[in-house]
Structure 1
Amino acid sequence: METAINLCKAGESIKSTAKKYGLAYATLYRHVKTGATAPKLGRFRPVFNEDQEMELVTYLKDMDSVFFGLTRDEFKNLVFIYAKKNSLNYPKNWDKYERAGDDWLSSFLSRHKNISLRTPEATSVARAKGFNRHQVGRFYENLEALTAKYDIDASRFYNMDETGISTTTNKPPKVLSTKGKKQVGIIASAERGQLTTVIGCCNAAGSFLPPFLIFARKKMQPRLLDGAPPGTQGTCTPNGWTTGEVFLDWMRFFVEHVRPTPEKKILLLLDNHESHKYYPALDYASKNNVVILSLAPHTTHKMQPMDVAIYGPLKTYFEREVNAFQKAHPGRIINQYDVARLLSPAFLKCAVAINAVHGFERPGIWPVNKYAFGDEDYEPAAVIAGTSNMNIRTEGTKSPEPERVISDFFAETSSTPSPSILEEFIPSSPVDPLVEVIPSQNRATPSVLQAPGTPIIDYFKTPEKIRSDVECTPEPKTGCSQIASAVDLDIATNAQKSDTMPPETEEDNQRNTSRDKSPSPKPGCSTSHYSPFVLRPIPNHAKSITTRKRNLQKSEILTSTPIKEDQKEKFEKNKIKKVTKRLDDKSANVPIKIVPKKTKTGKKNQKTAKKAKQSNKFKEFKDISCIFCGEIYIEEDDNPIENWIRCGICQQWCHEECSAFDGTQEYICDSCQS
């Protein structure tokens, strides 16, 4: 077809050419007239060309990589604005709802198979901000130093981490049900289950330690571990969480199983939780040849081997066991005595060597690979910190006023302005303003008036907002390519003339002005191109309202002397605070309110009420001593405060025999002399 069109344009007869190449005369005539070579089937035409759709795909991927992915409605609204701002032909019903249609979105997803609708995992700002190149790089430096110093191999490199399991199902499995049914239910043990913490540990060679369970209760019962995996141990805390004392218990459990020696020390990797900095546990570890390395804070979701490869399958298998138990014992509530029995098959399924090896290998922990994470992994932290290239390219220059004027001018004219108009916006300084904003791009200082053939618009455009017509690649039938070529040639010619010829006269200016009023190019070829990053930029991270300053945490060798001494100092201070608080506690002198029991008739028993009042008074005056003689108060008869006097200023007590009494019924307190 293209060869036939070129022959016809060169002067050949359309009829003979069509017969020569076996083409229909009407078809060849239409293509010669419109200049289009690509065949078009059907009456529907795409809204965007391939380059524009790839720009939308790139935008979706970039926004998803920094955790600002678009929903269906948000994307359809962006597509509508993108088509409208760039003066493209789009269906009229888009204007009614101000967004693209569902049929267009379905076709878009069918054309781009690598884009699909996914359920995102909620990621906190702290995790997005904490996983940055500096903190992760510091961890790998510590890891490389320790593995080289102690000659660590896979069998002596362990990771310990906690996770929580509940006695009720949190994520029920999908079940077969009737189509159109409004609600599908499944029996659960309770609305809210009891938490049990599981401490797991494995090494880079694939070996696992038995789990260590923490139950939320006051007293530990041996039968809580009935049916647990072999070797399992457990303890109790009021809320089921890990504490410093529990970590010390687990450390003894760990040393008993791995048995480190001075010649073959053990490297233990764990997160930056405060309970893991408990000084007695750190001291016990260092004395027993265990070296503890902590991860950088808020990086465990990507770097903790147990999190990466073990605890996901463990919770899935445990949920299945819970649901199977509910179906086998309908109406029975799962309690703490069933947790170990349900955990056992789930733990044995996920605690396999291949999972442990992959858990260490994927984040580059063993073998050590500090390049395991790429730029896309650090991009969310860079966006929040304002150092990402994605932020820079959407901000434009530091002086946006000229850019705004130029952009508005381009939007109104939809044609390339002549050099005489653009000269008004050329700054007097020869330094390119974009060099300060985009340091990574070593742009040479543009010299439009000295470089024939270089479009002047390149001097002002930002990477996304403005594009010259050279970048526009629409369908040939629109005639855009010919217009672009003519405009570029015109710009280059004028630039060369303005460099070599004297200033233009008034006649020349008028002639140039009339020439600049050329018809606008066809839709899709506007010189003012609005990128999705400009129409819907990445949200800027809000500054913190609070002025509270926190100590920045980082990856540390917790068993090193400086860290251990610092934790020892904190431990001693906390111990003194606890003793002081216990000594200052005056709860023993606070009266205890006793509610009198009710009789069968519902009325309060008067005798019980009277005894309660007396009991309150006795509690109030317990351990009271006289400030003069030091005699302890002893209850006498039915009047507990008889012959005892209290100072209204210092609130001290004394009995009447030790006070100076005069005729005015006033007493002089020996404590405050009032």
Structure 2
Amino acid sequence: MTEKKYFKWKIEDLQNAIHDYKNSDIGLNECARLHKIPKATLKRHLDKSDSEDLVEINKGRPTVFDRKFENVLVEHILFLEQHMFGFTITDIRRLAYQIAEKNGLKHNFNSTKKMAGKAWYYAFIKRHKDKISLRQPEATSLNRAKGFNRESIQNFFDIYEQIVDTNKLNANKIFNVDESGFQTVQKKPQKVLGGKGKKQIGALTSGERGVNTTMVACVSAAGQFIPPMIIFKRMRMSDQLKEGAPAGSLITVSESGYINRELFCQWLQHFAAVVKPTKEDKVLLLLDGHTTHSKNLDALMFARENGIVLLQLPGHTTHRLQPLDVSFFKPMSTYYTQAIESWMRSHPGSAVTQYQVSRLINEAYERAATIGNVVNGFKATGTWPVNRNIFQDHHFAPAEALISNVEQNDSPKFSTLLSNMQDDVPSTSQVTEPSKLEEFKSSLNILSPLPRNNLPSKGRGAQKAVELTSSPYKNNLEISQQKAKQPKKVPLRLNKPIKQKIKKMTNLNTTHVKQNKKLIDKTARNKKKIKIEDSEESTEEEEVIVFDDSESCDSEDKENDCAKCGRNYYDKKGPKVDWIQCVRCHNWNHETCTTNPDICDDCLE
């Protein structure tokens, strides 16, 4: 028995058959025979009102959601993915079940798990394989998502284009510098071939925790690499650290293993020695807003004197705006991991130490430092050739969704996106019975709304693009550093004097301050002195405090007088009382000379 073949006809044949049947006197059977369309198929499509608008052939059983419903769902998935809130497989299966239930659609989904089956998911992806696919997202921090917005990028290109045009810069005069860390232990082992069926396979690393080493890389838009600077985490320099390093590189050490202000000044001298810029022939250096760059007055002065224009990139935008981050450091990290694994295979039983890092960095540097990588990095960031329109709308979509409500109302682009993607349910005054498509959109927006930030923005915000070597920025930095050097006025806080406690197990006639239980009139109390009355004789153990006055002086005694009674705190003998300072006049008083623990009586009046 031969297997029957289906779908011998094309969609154009079906459209022509429907057109001829509706616009001529040809019967159903004759129309199906002329166009070679099965009669049942032609009749099924004639029953649909939009049959002439067919764009694809639906094979097999009818789907839970028709073509228009699925197109809306696909657009919703892509919209959320642009805002970095993409769906997982489980999310889309659960959402499909909820939409089908809410719209009363007939389905065969799992009611126990309350989600669509895997078969529906794979069929859905296959039907829309030209639009969506399963992808591995790149982890992006919240600050980076919010920092990469239109305002910051346009402001950067305003300054950048002005510097390029004013100084007539070309690809040979535009540089980018950045730092990256490399450990003696590889971050993540590469995939290897192993036995099938094993639950877990292992790969050797050179240790549990590695020692950080910083590499400062710099490159021009034309592909010229400046010999790197390698910073080891050490207190003393050793010539063995230089073995195998890239030719012409600068090897140094720091206590933390990271760059600091002194080392950045040292690197700037190294950069000027290689590039040889002058005030008449300036170069532009793009860098991030790290404090070693932006708050380093010595570096700014050196750059101004040697014709180096420093331009700070906007905060939290280096993942898209810095050429080295875009095209160089990722392959460099991969090649460095491969170099470590290759070294360990040739040195079994040995661990990577700081004395092998320079050689391993050189091996990875030679593979990653190619002209093509760097040129593509500058092109992808729009820094050369200069192109402020290099970034598309979907690059700014996360920032437009995460800004505060006040900023959302001021963003026409965000409002347009919301109006296009999240249509409100039509009111009864406009439409008595909304269409099924509108109901589908409404239920989709309710079950899966676009996340919006309802909290006001906090903090001082990300750094903006600024020319660090400009005179206004330099002058402001000098003023701020001078203010920081000035000593701050701190309110006087006297320490309690050293006391020697002497206990005498004898019957003593001691004096106590009898505090009146009733409030004394404040005006009368200012005129009269507090009287100290003799207390009754006591046979209990009493504690007498004797102050050591061996190092006392008259000047200290005058400064430490009670503002109320005039008696000095360093009395030879007296009651055990606390010393209280007024928060308004900052004068000191005995605890027994004031009725308020924070403010003295004079300030209260």
TM, length-normalised to structure 2: 0.71
Aligned partner letter, 1:554:
K
Q: 1:88: how far off?
A: 2.5
**Residues 227-278 of structure 1, C-alpha deviations (whole Å, 9 max, x = no match):** 0000111222222122111111111111111111121011111011111021
Task: Report how many residues are paired.
Answer: 479
Deviation at 1:9, TM superposition (A): 10
Cα distance in 1 for residues equivalent to 2:28 and 2:552? 127
**Alignment correspondent of 2:81:** 64
The answer to whether residue 385 in structure 2 is matched with residue 367 in structure 1 is yes
Is the Cα contact below 8 Å between 2:279 and 2:305 reproduced in 1?
no
Q: 1:366 is matched by which residue type in structure 2?
A: W
Whichever residue aligns with residue 203 of structure 1, its letter is S
Could you tell me whether the CA contact under 8 Å between 2:177 and 2:285 is conserved in 1?
yes
**2 CA distance for matches of 1:26 and 1:354?**
60
- What SS does the aligned partner of 2:303 have? helix
Deviations 1:501-530 (A, max 9, x none): xxxxxxxxxxxxxxxxxxxxxxx6675643
Equivalent residue, structure 1, for 2:114 = 98
Counterpart of 1:225 (choices 232, 242, 250) is 242
Specify the alignment match of 2:464 in structure 1. Answer: 554
Identify the residue that residue 293 of structure 2 maps to in structure 1: 276
**Which residue is equivalent to 1:596?**
none
> Which one is further off, 7-16 or 221-230?
7-16
Give the distance between the partners of 2:227 and 2:305, measured in 1 at CA: 23
Match of residue 91, structure 2, among 71, 74, 78: 74
What does residue range 329-478 of structure 1 map to in structure 2 within 5 Å? 329-385=347-403, 386=405, 387=408, 388-389=414-415, 390-391=417-418, 422-423=428-429, 456-457=430-431, 468-469=434-435
Structure 1 position 139, deviation (Å): 0.6
1:256 aligns with 2:273: yes
> What residue in structure 2 maps to residue 625 of structure 1?
none
Range with bigger deviation, 289-298 or 53-62 = 53-62
- In structure 2, the residue matched to 1:540 is 452
**Equivalent residue number for residue 163 of structure 1:** 180
What runs of 5+ residues in structure 1 fail to find an aligned partner?
398-402, 408-421, 424-455, 461-466, 470-523, 582-646, 656-669
Change (3 A) 1:575 1:324: farther
Residue of structure 1 in register with 2:283 after alignment? 266
Cα contact 1:383–1:391 (8 A) shared by 2 = no
Letter in 1 for 2:451: P
1:271-310 deviations in Å (ceiling 9; x for gaps): 1111102111111111111110010000000010111111
| Separation in structure 2 between the aligned mates of residue 150 and residue 28 of structure 1, nearest angstrom | 71
The structure with higher relative contact order (CA 8 Å, sep 6+) is 1
More helix by share: 1
What residue identity is the alignment partner of 2:127?
R
**Could you give the per-residue CA deviations for residues 507-564 of structure 1, whole angstroms, max 9, x where no partner exists?**
xxxxxxxxxxxxxxxxx6675643533320122225269x6x4265200000111111
Q: Which amino acid aligns with 1:258?
A: V
CA-CA distance at 1:188 after TM superposition: 0.2
Quote the residue 2:495 is aligned against.
Answer: none
Could you tell me how far apart the structure 1 residues matched to 2:155 and 2:87 are? 33
Cα gap change, 1:651/1:127 in structure 2, threshold over 3 Å: closer, same or farther? farther
Q: Equivalent residue for 1:628? A: none
Residues 85 and 530, structure 1, Cα contact 8 Å, conserved in 2: no
| Unpaired segments ≥5 residues, structure 2 | 1-13, 409-413, 491-544, 554-567, 573-605
5 Å-filtered alignment, 1:566-585, equals 566-575=476-485
2:126 counterpart of 1:216: no
Letter in 2 for 1:67: M
Match of 2:523 in 1: none
CA distance in 2, matches of 1:25, 1:306: 64
Q: Distance in 2 between matches of 1:25 and 1:553?
A: 69
CA contact (8 A) 1:210 1:229 kept: yes
SS of 1:94's partner is coil
Q: Deviations over 1:436-484 (max 9, x none)?
A: xxxxxxxxxxxxxxxxxxxx42xx9xxxxxx954xxxxxxxxxxxxxxx
Deviation at 1:17, TM superposition (A): 6.1
The match for 1:190 is 207
* Superimposed CA distance per residue, residues 556-615 of structure 1 (whole angstroms, 9 cap, x where no aligned partner): 00011111122223334455569x99xxxxxxxxxxxxxxxxxxxxxxxxxxxxxxxxxx
Q: State percent identity of aligned pairs.
A: 34
Residue 354 of structure 1 and its aligned partner are, at CA, apart by 1.5
Q: Secondary structure at the match of 1:301?
A: helix
* Greater Cα offset, 567-576 or 320-329: 567-576
Q: What is the CA RMSD across the aligned residues, in angstroms? A: 3.5
Q: Secondary structure at the match of 1:210?
A: strand
* Paired residues of 2:77 and 2:86 also in contact (CA < 8 A): yes
What's the CA shift for 1:122?
1.4
Q: Helix, strand or coil for the counterpart of 1:174? A: coil
- The answer (yes or no) to whether the contact 1:243–1:275 under 8 Å persists in 2 is yes
Partner of 2:278, secondary structure, is coil
Q: Secondary structure at the match of 2:112?
A: helix
Is residue 394–residue 534 contact of structure 1 (8 Å, CA) maintained in 2? no
Name the counterpart of 2:442: 530
